[in-house]
A and B are shown apart, each in its own frame.
Chain A
Amino acid sequence: MATATQPVEPVPQEKAAAASKSWRFDVFARWPWLKRLVRMRSFQFLLILPNLIFFYFFLLTGSFGTPVGNRNIIIVFVWILWWVVLIAALVPLGSRIWCTMCPLPFFGDWLQRRATILVRPGKSPGTENRFFGLQKRWPKKLSNIWLQNFGFLFLATFSALLVTRPIVTVILFSIMILLAAGMALVYRLRAFCNYVCPISGFLSLYSMTSTIELRSADKDECLKCKSKSCIRGSDKGWACPWNVYMGKLDRNNYCGLCFECVKSCPNDNITLYLRPFATSDVLIKGYDEVWKASIMLVLAFSYSIVLLSPWGRFKDWANVSETHNWAGFGVYAVGQMLLALVIFPSLYYLSIRLAKRFAKADSVSLKELFLGYSYMLVPLGLLAWIAFSIPLIMVNGSYIISVISDPLGWGMDLFGTAEFPWIPFMPEWVPFLQVPVLLIGLYYSLRGLHKVARKFFPDPAQRLQSLVPPTVLLLGVTLVFLRLFIG
Chain B
Amino acid sequence: MTKKLNYTELLGVLAVLLVLAGLPLMLWHWRTTALPNRYLPGTKIINLTAIAPGGIWTEELVVGYGYWWKHPTRARDINLEQGDHVVLLLHSPDVQHSFSIPDLNIGPVEIHAGHTVEVEFIAERAGEFPFLCIKICGKDHGRLEGRFLVAARQDAVENSAAR
Contacts and interface: CB of A to CB of B under 8 A. Distances in A.
A410 interface: yes
B114 A60 contact: no
B16 A52 contact: yes
A69 B113 CA distance: 9
Given A116-B13, A410-B116, A63 B64 contact: yes
A412 B30 contact: yes
Contact of B93 (A53, A63, A66): A66
A110 B12 CA distance: 11
A323 interface: no
A170 B5 contact: no
Interface stretch (A10-18, A41-49, A87-95, A360-368): A41-49
Contact of A66 (B24, B30, B64): B64
A339 to B, nearest CB: 30
Interface of A: 41-42, 45, 49, 52-53, 56-57, 60-72, 110, 115-118, 120, 165-167, 170, 406, 408-412, 419
Contact of A409 (B1, B27, B116): B116
A117 B12 contact: yes
Contacts of A62: 64
A64 B16 contact: no
Given A64-B63, A68-B113, A410-B116, 17 more contacts: A52-B16, A53-B19, A60-B24, A62-B64, A64-B65, A66-B63, A67-B63, A69-B114, A71-B115, A117-B11, A118-B1, A118-B5, A118-B9, A167-B65, A167-B68, A170-B64, A409-B91
A91 to B, nearest CB: 27
Interface of B: 1, 5-6, 8-9, 11-13, 15-16, 19-20, 23-24, 27, 30-31, 35, 62-65, 67-68, 89, 91-94, 113-116, 118
Given A63-B64, A67-B63, A72-B64, A409 B8 contact: no
Contacts, number: 93
A410 B114 contact: no
A305 B20 CA distance: 40
A323 to B, nearest CB: 14
Nearest to B117: A411
B47 to A, nearest CB: 10
Contact of B114 (A49, A57, A66, A120): A66
Scoring B11, B24, B63, B89 by chain A CB atoms within 10 A of each residue's CB, the highest score goes to B63
A69 to B, nearest CB: 8
A42 B12 contact: yes
B77 to A, nearest CB: 25
Contacts of A408: 27
A219 to B, nearest CB: 33
Contacts of A165: 64, 67
B27 A53 contact: no
A66 to B, nearest CB: 5
A71 B113 contact: yes
Contacts of A117: 8-9, 11-12
A208 B20 CA distance: 36
